[in-house]
């Protein structure tokens, strides 16, 4: 039986992430921004991870690796964390094309929701999907996200500005655990 989990990302995840990103580069170019060649190398991914972990140390990001039976198959990140009266973060995720359509994305998002509420104490999570990304929209709907608007020409990918749907999920109504 396979088991999908998430954990805090580690610099040693760089090679596995680079391999998936390089392999899926053409398949995902419609959904992801253009990146320099270095981004698709183990060294480039290790540098990205180190930057994410620095942000984690400041309390503004929770960067996670999606793991299937010990193998890293993608990422899930709660970023742009705002404290004070907002207590919210922004959810982003991707799964290797070899592992899509098998429930791993949905499981990772569900686990990230638990971390956002239980560990980070957030009141709300937000996400964006391109208008045509129906699979990602289905995952968000399954986990209680509601769409609240469309931003036209909001995200640049594959040589064009893309419309995006904005999503929100309230996690709890309690008072903030941390104000700042």
pLDDT for residue 177 is more than 80 = no
How confident is the model over 63-84, as a mean pLDDT? 96
Q: Is the pTM of this model over 0.85?
A: yes
CATH number at residue 60: 3.40.630.30
Confidence at residue 176, expressed as pLDDT on a 0 to 100 scale? 80
Burial of 153 (0-12, 13-18, 19+ CB in 10 A): exposed
Domain for residue 32, yes or no?
yes
Domain for residue 21, yes or no?
yes
Domain for residue 38, yes or no?
yes
How confident is the model over 75-99, as a mean pLDDT? 95
| Average pLDDT taken over every residue of the chain | 94
Identify any residues that bridge with 178 across adjacent strands, giving them in sequence order: none
Confidence at residue 1, expressed as pLDDT on a 0 to 100 scale? 45
Give the number of other CB atoms < 10 A from CB of residue 127: 23
Domain for residue 13, yes or no?
yes
How confident is the model over 124-132, as a mean pLDDT? 95
Confidence at residue 167, expressed as pLDDT on a 0 to 100 scale? 98
The band of 115, judged by pLDDT with boundaries at 50, 70 and 90, is very high
Cβ 91 vs Cβ 126: under 8 Å: yes
Complete DSSP assignment for 88-137: EEEEEEEE-GGGTTTTHHHHHHHHHHHIIIIIT--SEEEEEEETT-HHHH
Range of the domain at 138: 4-170
Q: Count of domains in the chain?
A: 1
The band of 100, judged by pLDDT with boundaries at 50, 70 and 90, is confident
The band of 33, judged by pLDDT with boundaries at 50, 70 and 90, is confident
Phi, psi dihedral angles at 112 (to 5 degrees): -65, -35
Domain for residue 178, yes or no?
no
Confidence at residue 178, expressed as pLDDT on a 0 to 100 scale? 65
Reported residue count of the chain is 180
Could you tell me which residues come within 8 angstroms of residue 160 by beta carbon, excluding any fewer than 6 positions away?
none
Domain for residue 143, yes or no?
yes
Domain for residue 11, yes or no?
yes
């Amino acid at each position: 039986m396979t088991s999908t989990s998430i954990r805090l990302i580690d610099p040693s995840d760089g090679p596995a992430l680079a391999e998936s990103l390089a392999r899926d580069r053409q398949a995902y170019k419609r959904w992801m921004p253009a990146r320099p060649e270095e981004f698709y190398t183990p060294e480039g991914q290790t540098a990205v991870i180190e930057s994410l972990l620095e942000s984690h140390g400041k309390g503004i990001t929770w960067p996670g690796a999606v793991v299937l039976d010990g193998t890293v198959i993608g990422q899930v990140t709660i970023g742009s964390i705002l404290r004070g009266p907002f207590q919210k973060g922004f959810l982003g995720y991707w799964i290797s094309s070899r592992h899509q359509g098998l429930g791993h994305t949905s499981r990772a998002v569900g686990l990230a929701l638990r971390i956002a509420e239980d560990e980070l104490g957030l009141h709300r999570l937000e996400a964006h999907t391109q208008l045509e990304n129906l699979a990602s929209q289905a995952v968000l709907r399954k986990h209680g996200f509601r769409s609240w608007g469309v931003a036209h020409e909001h995200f640049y990918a594959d040589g064009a500005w893309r419309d995006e749907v904005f999503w929100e999920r309230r996690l709890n109504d309690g008072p903030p655990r941390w104000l700042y």
